[in-house]
Amino acid sequence: MKLSSTFIALALAAVSFASPAARAGSGYVQTSGQAFTLDGAPYTVYGENSYWVGLSGYSTDQMNQAFSDIAATGGTTVRTWGFNDVNSTTASDHPVYYQYFDGKNITVNTGANGLANFDNVVAAAKANNIKLIVTLTNNWGDYGGMDVYVNSILGYGQPHDYFYSNPDVIAAYKNYVKAFVSRYANEPTIFGWELANEPRCGGSTPASSGTCTTKTITTWIQDISSYIKTVDSNHLVGLGDEGWFNWANSTSDWTSNGSNGIDFDANLAISSIDFGTFHLYPGTWQESSPSYDQWGQTWIQNHRNSQVTANKPVLLEEFGVTVSQDQTQTYNDWYSTAINGGLSGVIIWQAGSNYSSGNSPDDGFTVYPGTDAYNVVKTFSAEIKKRDGTS
């Protein structure tokens, strides 16, 4: 889509830097208005997701290849999972796990197949000059997440959304957050923490209290994000959500009427939330009007408007369409809309590596080296670095 020149001028003004020198030498990524900085200079947030690099028993060589494949596209920042919750420690089922739930007896695994494995992920990222956005639990059932807390602590079949409101569950999650975050509090390779992947009132299990609203989750975000700041004041904190709006003028559009329990603007206004996050999957969301591509461009622009209003950075931190959904053209248009429009940063779902033992996981959106999508990712890393003056 062609942007109006006024829109571009406003956008470029928005990404300039207020007083970067004031924060020189911290070693940690910081925010300055709608931009990110590192040691007083602009820091470009651009890269890929690799949820899998620390989860499935990849060797340190494979971790290194994962990050070097991303670095070869010009990536600076990778989003990954900092959770892996299990209720059985059978090694064949769980070669790596970070937390074991034996009913209410919950143990953080700091061993070689636990957080020591995540230490290797951090070292491999650092060796490739990559910083990590680490997400601390999952709305969905993959790798444990919220339902393991609820089921283990409150009993099977209890509502998913009790994760946000039950005091015992909240205490257990804070205990994990403290163990994980404090381990890396002085590690500059960490870009920042995210509270959860795609938090919603509803989850992978059908059970719901019927009482969860945007206020329920906003209150939880205030509590957990301010708690993280007490454990680790060095790193940025974001949410990790899909970016649903709760617009007063929207009644019959589930992406903007608050029905998932997320109010993007209210959450971005929380003082202990440093940056906003949103995702974009119009194919999965069945948003094809007027096309997946166009719907996505509007979604990006709407979040960029919120970025300006809040005067905080906002990241498009997951997106995908399949090859059959006009992938290359769509990615070109979305990257252009985000970068030329002044969105703070962009991270695609998801990185892929071709290992000699076989490829990393493919969910239909994986960007493997040597593919058309990989070349698009590479092309736009140069564009965003030019915009930010970081090339």
Ligand X SMILES: *[C@@H]1O[C@H](CO)[C@@H](O)[C@H](O)[C@H]1NC(C)=O
The footprint of ligand X (CB under 6 A) covers 87-88, 102, 105, 107, 247, 249, 251-254, 257-259, 354, 359, 368-371
**16 vs 354, which CB is nearer to ligand X?**
354
Q: How far is the CB of 19 from ligand X (least distance, A)?
A: 30
**252 vs 289, which CB is nearer to ligand X?**
252
Chain Cα centroid distance, residue 367 = 17
Q: How far is the CB of 158 from ligand X (least distance, A)?
A: 13
Distances (CA, A) of 178 to 116, 136, 171, 205, 279: 16, 11, 10, 27, 27
Amino acid at 198: E
**192 vs 199, which CB is nearer to ligand X?**
199
**135 vs 256, which CB is nearer to ligand X?**
256
Q: How far is the CB of 247 from ligand X (least distance, A)?
A: 4
Q: How far is the CB of 284 from ligand X (least distance, A)?
A: 15
Q: Does the active-site annotation cover 317?
A: no
Residue 119: which of 56, 183, 185 has the closest Cα? 183
Which are the contacts of 83, defined by CB distance < 8 A and separation ≥ 6?
98, 99, 135, 136, 137, 138, 143, 144, 145, 176
Alpha-helical regions (H) of the chain: 5-14, 60-71, 115-127, 146-154, 167-183, 214-231, 264-268, 282-285, 292-310, 327-341, 372-388
Residue 311: which of 268, 261, 363, 359 has the closest Cα? 268
Q: How far is the CB of 232 from ligand X (least distance, A)?
A: 26
- Report the C-alpha gap between 182 and 233 in whole angstroms: 10
| Contact criterion met (CB below 8 Å) for 96 and 56 | yes
- Report the C-alpha gap between 108 and 129 in whole angstroms: 28
| Structure tokens, 68 | 């070097």
**16 vs 359, which CB is nearer to ligand X?**
359
**6 vs 251, which CB is nearer to ligand X?**
251
- Report the C-alpha gap between 239 and 242 in whole angstroms: 9
* Neighbouring-strand partners of residue 80: 134
- Report the C-alpha gap between 14 and 165 in whole angstroms: 37
Distance from the first to the final alpha carbon of the chain: 25
**87 vs 216, which CB is nearer to ligand X?**
87
Give the active site residue among 187, 287, 317, 318.
318
- Report the C-alpha gap between 217 and 349 in whole angstroms: 25
Q: How far is the CB of 95 from ligand X (least distance, A)?
A: 17
Q: Does the active-site annotation cover 318?
A: yes
Residue 249's Cβ-count burial label (10 Å; 0-12, 13-18, 19+) is: exposed
Q: How far is the CB of 359 from ligand X (least distance, A)?
A: 5
Catalytic residue IDs: 198, 318
